[in-house]
Structure 1
Amino acid sequence: MGASERVVPEGARRRRRPTKGGTVLSEQLIVETTLRLIGEHGAAALTVRRLGAALGCDPSAVYRYFKDTDELLLAVADELIGRTLNSWRPTGDWRADLRALGLRMHADYMAHPQAAMLACARVTGRRHEIRSVDAILGVLRGAGFPDAEAVRIYHVFVDQTLSFAALDASTLALPVRARELEARAWRETYARMPAETHPHIAATSGVLVAEMDRSGYPAALEMVLAAAAGRLAHVRSGPPGA
């Protein structure tokens, strides 16, 4: 899409006639269809022509909603954030709330690994992302973290979650054969290392193979939450402004 294309205001975007499939175009429909196509074919295969075919409309109609494919991908990234937020219910227990949100974020990205690899590194500046930033900072400030601490912990919490999501999504997006070889390497190489040459791998091989077969995110999340709890205890026990 050309950056010079004119994006029509929201109120003027509705098509006067349904698409060939009998639906009326909307930004939400385009985003949902894009998310489905990325999941089926990967981001590299996403084209406006293919999107138009899936929507049952002329590809140029997409230009009325998004000036280029990058803007569309930002909208997809924001859609994933929105889905997570809409299913998250904070309880007032900051540690439990961040745990629930982090695990839900990670799981939602794993449900869309192809899109996750694109979305995790982007700042959308859109509605759902703004809601999420405000909500997480609200949880931390409400727990009693000073503003500088709240921002720092927010940064670590979000970047850790997105980093693991991107890493784990890249594994899920591998061809089945490649994923099988990854798993076999732990079972057939590391589990058989002799103690004479690699004593520490040999001593922990059973635990190592089991651990590396799953995501490290839940454990990493608990480490961050424990560190944050330690910081909060320090703030509460120290003099004002510490």
Structure 2
Amino acid sequence: MSERVVPPAARQRRRPTKQGVVLSEELIVETALRLIEEHGADALSVRRLGRSLGADPSSLYRYFRHTDDLMLAIADELIGHTLRTWRPTGDWRADLRDLGLRMHAGALAHPRAAVLSSYRVTGRAYEIQAVETILGVLRDAGFPDAEAVRIYHAFVDQALAHGALDSATRAMPKAAQEAEAAVWRSTYARLPADTHPHIAATARHLVADMPRSSYPTALDLLLSAAAARLEEIRSPAGVPYRPSKPSPEEAVRR
């Protein structure tokens, strides 16, 4: 796509396409997601999208200025998939664990799209909602603002990084996945104890654990560290922490 820009008011197409559907941003994103999973990044072309939608390729400019604009919409929709299924309970640690696992599962459901979009900042509605929601969970739990941002940053980057890593593995051909998993049995499990004592001692655990995602373990470690930090904040000298409302001057600075 080029840098053509169509004013928002002129974007809505009222006439059905050749396939009898009315174009919308949601339909284009949904179609692009499907094509990416089938064909990879090459799916993001005006011609291929137009053909799949039964529409003149130029009509896509009514909704997206170029392919990168569409990629940002796809990244935002992946976030939306997660948010629409998540229900907070009020327990900050349980809620973040559930959200993180849902983010990871969402990436694995669309592995090729996740690899392409995990490092993008969209500035769109679902991403903004996610940032607001996660920061709210952390601030309501009692984390000061600076700590809340640091933990938010680590939490999101961890989920996105593991999602992209595991999605890249998921997108590999099945035979390649099996061959890599077999290396732990065929190579590491056979290393002698006299030259590699630590690998030899833990070989059966490596064989069992390494083919699986480490994300649940990494997430639990992060949340445990955050919980320990919260305890330090609440009782730095044995006194229970009581968050207070900021002064008007502090509220402005925040």
> TM-score when scaled to structure 2?
0.91
User: Which residue is equivalent to 1:228?
Assistant: 226
For 1:58 and 1:100, locate their aligned partners in 2 and report how far apart those are by CA, in whole Å: 42
Name the % identity.
Answer: 67
One-letter identity of the residue aligned with 2:157: D
How many Å apart are 1:157 and its aligned residue? 0.4
For 2:122 and 2:11, locate their aligned partners in 1 and report how far apart those are by CA, in whole Å: 22
User: Is 1:134 matched up with 2:114?
Assistant: no
User: Which residue is equivalent to 1:175?
Assistant: 173
Q: Mapping of 1:38-187 within 5 angstroms?
A: 38-187=36-185
User: Which residue is equivalent to 2:2?
Assistant: 2
For 1:8 and 1:107, locate their aligned partners in 2 and report how far apart those are by CA, in whole Å: 36
CA RMSD of aligned residues (A): 1.3
Matched residue of 1:16: which SS? coil
Q: Deviations over 1:155-203 (max 9, x none)?
A: 0000111111111111111122221211111121111111122111111
Q: How many residue pairs were aligned?
A: 239
**Following TM superposition, where does structure 1 have runs of at least 4 consecutive aligned residues deviating by more than 4 angstroms?**
none
Matched residue of 1:42: which SS? helix
Q: Deviations over 1:74-107 (max 9, x none)?
A: 0000000001001000000000000000000000
Matched residue of 1:87: which SS? coil
For 2:14 and 2:216, locate their aligned partners in 1 and report how far apart those are by CA, in whole Å: 49
Q: Deviations over 1:49-68 (max 9, x none)?
A: 01001101011111111000
> Which stretch of structure 1 is more off in the superposition, 209-218 or 191-200?
191-200
One-letter identity of the residue aligned with 1:121: Y
How many Å apart are 1:2 and its aligned residue? 1.3
For 2:88 and 2:6, locate their aligned partners in 1 and report how far apart those are by CA, in whole Å: 37
> TM-score when scaled to structure 1?
0.96
One-letter identity of the residue aligned with 2:2: G
Q: Deviations over 1:181-226 (max 9, x none)?
A: 1111112111111112211111111111111010000000000000
Q: Deviations over 1:114-146 (max 9, x none)?
A: 000011100000000000000000000000001
User: Is 1:31 matched up with 2:29?
Assistant: yes
For 2:216 and 2:6, locate their aligned partners in 1 and report how far apart those are by CA, in whole Å: 42
Picking from 202, 212, 236, the partner of 1:204 is 202
Matched residue of 1:123: which SS? coil
One-letter identity of the residue aligned with 2:18: K
Matched residue of 1:84: which SS? helix
Q: Are the counterparts in 2 of residues 8 and 65 from structure 1 also a CA contact under 8 Å?
A: no
How many Å apart are 1:45 and its aligned residue? 3.9
User: Which residue is equivalent to 1:191?
Assistant: 189
Q: Are the counterparts in 1 of residues 43 and 49 from structure 2 also a CA contact under 8 Å?
A: no
For 2:158 and 2:89, locate their aligned partners in 1 and report how far apart those are by CA, in whole Å: 22
Matched residue of 2:151: which SS? helix
For 2:87 and 2:15, locate their aligned partners in 1 and report how far apart those are by CA, in whole Å: 39
